[in-house]
Amino acid sequence: MLRLHEVHAHYGAIHALRGISLEVKEGQIVTLIGANGAGKSSTLMTISGILRPTSGRIIFEDEDLTHLPSHAIVRRGISQVPEGRRIFPTLSVLENLEMGAYTRTDATQIRQDLDRVFQLFPLLKDRRSQPGGTLSGGEQQMLAIGRALMARPRLLLMDEPSLGLAPKLVETIFQVIQEINAQSTTILLVEQNAHMALRVATRGYVMEVGRIVLEDEAEKLMANGEVRSAYLGE
Ligand code: ATP
């Protein structure tokens, strides 16, 4: 479904991505793990067209996305849940969700997707008139996920959805990730919580300083001694 070929990206003089090649197959949850600053967020931002690759290619469903603007990438079926939620604090919960559908005009289907988000997160329905900024961290994460789903993505990019959440909420978020995937949305998941990420993923990639250093089935990565000591705290 998605293929990155030797993607490089820079922030000025900083060479953040140094030849990333990866693949996500339809229906999978693929996770990208690695330490702070490894380039995980930059990889997602490059797929979304927010950070422009300096070389390499990004192919989604046989179409070259490498030079498309972000809004065109969203229209092709990729949306992102950004790190730190980035909800609109002064807009209501409902308006935040509607913003997720801003590239769409199919009112009936938008309505259906809103119902689907409210089914997934009944709490957002109860709070739909409340400003987004008054929600707790966990609720804002649900709103950020809901907003991304309002674009009706076939591929959902998730950046650290469990960051800063209490353990019980982390469990909830990972259950939601599996549920979204079961409803036929493919997921590329960036996580520092490698343990949980590898538990739900089919495949995983390990990043270090702008490069992929290891890739395998998630189960095999979990059993890998290096991964266990570097990322699973053993
Ligand atoms: P984290 O978990 O901390 O988000 P990460 O693996 O997602 O880490 P990136 O945020 O992609 O890593 O960062 C990769 C490299 O790019 C780092 O060296 C980082 O300092 C640098 N970088 C990221 N964003 C910017 C920016 N806006 N301007 C300059 N350098 C940046």
pLDDT digits (tens, 9 = 90+) for 95-124: 999 999 988 888 899 999 999 999 999 999
Alpha-carbon 58 to chain mean position: 16
Q: Evaluate if residue 233 carries a pLDDT over 80.
A: no
- Taking the CA atoms of residue 174, residue 176, residue 182 and residue 187 in that order, the dihedral angle to the nearest 10 degrees is -60
Q: How far apart are the first and last CA of the chain?
A: 34
Give pTM, 2 decimals.
0.93
CB distance 38 to ligand 1 below 6 Å: yes
CB distance 209 to ligand 1 below 6 Å: no
Q: What is the pLDDT of residue 85?
A: 87
Q: What is the pLDDT of residue 146?
A: 94
CB distance 84 to ligand 1 below 6 Å: no
Q: What is the pLDDT of residue 107?
A: 87
Please enumerate in sequence order all residues whose Cβ is within 8 A of that of 111, keeping only pairs 6 or more positions apart, or say none.
none
Atom in ligand 1 nearest the alpha carbon of residue 41: 7
CB distance 37 to ligand 1 below 6 Å: yes
CB distance 11 to ligand 1 below 6 Å: yes
The residue whose CB lies within 8 Å of the most ligand 1 atoms, and thus the one to mutate among 4, 42, 160, is 42
Residue nearest to atom 18 of ligand 1 (CA): 37
DSSP assignment of 177-204 equals HHHHHHTT-EEEEEES-HHHHHHH-SEE
User: pLDDT tens digits, residue range 178-224?
Assistant: 999 999 999 999 998 899 999 999 999 999 999 999 999 999 999 98
